Amino acid sequence: MGETTVKSLDDRTTPSSPIVADGRLARLRAGTPRRPTIWFEILLIAVSYWTYSLIRNAVPEQKSQALRNADWIWRAEESLGLAFEHAVNHAVNSVTWLIVSMNYYYATLHFIVTIGVLVWLYRGHPGRYAAFRTVLFATTGVALVGYYLYPLAPPRLMNGQNFIDTVLVHQTWGSMASGNLKHVSNQYAAMPSMHIGWSLWCGLTIFLLAKAPWAKILGLLYPMATLVVIVATANHFWLDAVGGMICLAFGFLVSYFWYGSRPHHLPKLVEPAPGAVARGGSSRATASGTGAASGTGTASTATGTASSGTRTAGGTETAGSADETTEQPRVSSGR
């Protein structure tokens, strides 16, 4: 009985950790999310956007090719019966307060909302922040390939289609490719639309993580409103928006491969720092050792108690008290 107890303690095993069991894949991926560092994230975002802008604007403008591609896009939309950009552009332009608001929407919310969602993720969902940030970075990175391979003029720069450049007409600040800012931005990098790529990233992130129903609704409405704005201001074709959606899908695939899970399925909070885990593990090991020792002592006591009541082969019961130190006198048989 005692042997069985001791064996069960010595041979005890614990289930292997999934991270240890899948160590090779864990080394290839980012591993368990850690709490992001605020200054590193600010620097990373700033440098990444600066690099993105530098590369985007360094892509050869190829004006003639960009105009030919715009004509092809327009004919393709007409063949589908969905060339509605011209009608929307002229209809919204007739309402001055509306088109001016859209100009400022196009110029500002693209950055404000995106940064706001990143801050919300950082503060409220630190365990998911890195995965969602990876989606955004991968989406933006692959868009550069589109700018290089497929230069495209926006509708407002097409020849003979009579689109209205709403920023120039209403003299508002609303486009990096109009007015005085057009010399510092590539005007022929319209495919894919990162206004749609980023706004859809914001909208899906809010929809997937927010608890309040009204927040989820706003999350879905934001990319829809952005689609109306980019078409009404003649900055993009609706097919540019499709390109932005494809880029976003690529970004989610990259994040899924890297983290082994969809971003919103990752834990909301981060795990403790490695030092804290090590200290916690030592405490648990000590407690386990103490408990095992206590259990062994208890088992030994129980074994001793049980053996005190063992009967001899002759049928007499032995006196098994551990406290007895004197032997009982024998009774003479008379021989």
The predicted structure's pLDDT at residue 268: 86
Token output for 158: 């097409």
Start-to-end CA distance of the chain, whole Å, equals 43
Separation CA 124–CA 322 (nearest Å): 64
Of the pLDDT bands very low, low, confident and very high (cuts 50, 70, 90), residue 183 is low
Lowest mean pLDDT among 170-174, 175-179, 254-258: 175-179
- Residue/partner pairs of 292-301 with CB below 8 Å, 24 or more apart: 292/9, 295/9, 296/5, 296/6, 296/9, 299/2, 299/5, 299/6, 300/2
Written as six digits, the tokens of 153 are 């003029």
Whether residue 192 is preceded by a cis peptide bond, meaning omega within 30 degrees of 0, is yes
Contacts of 245 (CB under 8 A, 6+ apart): 196, 197, 200
pLDDT of residue 33: 60
Angle at 41 between CA 125 and CA 229, to 5 degrees: 75
Among 96-105, 170-179, 211-220, where is mean pLDDT lowest? 170-179
**Residue 284 burial class via C-beta count within 10 angstroms: exposed 0-12, middle 13-18, buried 19 and up:** exposed
Write the pLDDT tens digit of every residue in 5-43.
444 333 433 343 344 334 444 444 545 566 778 888 888
Angle at CA of residue 287, ends 283 and 289, nearest 5°: 115
**Backbone angles phi and psi of 83, in degrees to 5:** -90, 75
Burial class (CB in 10 A: 0-12, 13-18, 19+), 325: exposed
- Which residue matches tokens 């069991």? 21
- What does the pLDDT look like over 54-90, one tens digit per residue? 877 777 768 899 999 999 999 999 999 999 999 999 9
* Token pair for 211: 């608890």
**CA nearest neighbour of 66 among 189, 182, 173, 167:** 189
CA–CA gap between residue 312 and residue 300 (Å, rounded): 21
**In angstroms, rounded to a whole number, what is the distance separating the alpha carbons of residues 197 and 251?**
10
Query: Looking at residue 325, what is its pLDDT?
Result: 41
Give the tens place of pLDDT for each residue, 144-169: 999 989 999 999 999 888 999 999 89
**What is the C-alpha separation between 329 and 189, in angstroms, rounded?**
111
pLDDT of residue 37: 82
- DSSP structural state of residue 189: B
The answer to whether 29 and 259 have CB atoms below 8 angstroms apart is yes
Residue among 147, 114, 121 at smallest CA distance from 263: 121
The angle, 0 to 180 degrees and rounded to 10, between the axes of the packed helices 85-93 and 96-124 is 110
Spatial contact of 223 and 180, defined as CB atoms under 8 Å apart? no
Q: How far is CA 170 from CA 155, 157, 162, 179, in A?
A: 17, 17, 16, 11
pLDDT score for 67? 94
* pLDDT winner (highest mean) among 26-35, 309-318, 319-328: 26-35
pTM of the model: 0.70
